[in-house]
Amino acid sequence: MPTPNETQSNAPTPIGTKSKKSWKEVIFSLVALVHRRKLVELEANYYDNADLKQLFKVCDKTLYRWRKTQQVPYAKIGGKIMYSKQAILGILHERMANRYHPMHIKDYQKRD
């Protein structure tokens, strides 16, 4: 336990006053901030497992099978599996177009 002379304050330092942070700590904090921002931008272009499970109403085992049978492209980044939104939406549009194509629908009739 610190003595009264050694107490440390976790309160933010007001602007214009000297900070006890070194330049190295400031640079490290800025690098970490940029890294977090890039991760947010990355996640904006990619789905993770939870996103795909919710989107397609499937379980972890189904996603695992899709990956192993190469039905969906994926990348493993830092232990986290990510799926390109563009690729997933492309696959979805392609499959829907094939499924609902007039040649695949029985008893298809044009409406006048």
Look at residue 36 and tell me if it is in a domain: no
One digit per residue, the tens of pLDDT, for the chain of length 112 reads 555 555 555 555 555 555 567 877 878 777 777 767 766 665 668 889 999 999 889 999 999 999 999 999 999 988 889 999 889 888 888 877 777 666 555 545 554 4
Look at residue 33 and tell me if it is in a domain: no
- Residue 83: CB atoms within 10 A of its CB come to 22
Number of folded domains that form the chain? 1
> Do residues 64 and 72 lie in contact, with contact meaning Cβ atoms separated by under 8 Å?
no
Look at residue 72 and tell me if it is in a domain: yes
Domain residue limits at 85: 46-105
Q: What are phi and psi of 35, to 5 degrees?
A: -60, -45
Whole-prediction pTM value?
Answer: 0.50
Amino acid in position 44: A
Look at residue 71 and tell me if it is in a domain: yes
Look at residue 41 and tell me if it is in a domain: no
DSSP assignment letter at 82: E
The CA distances from residue 26 to 33, 36, 40, in Å, are 11, 15, 21
Element (H, E) at 81: strand 80-84
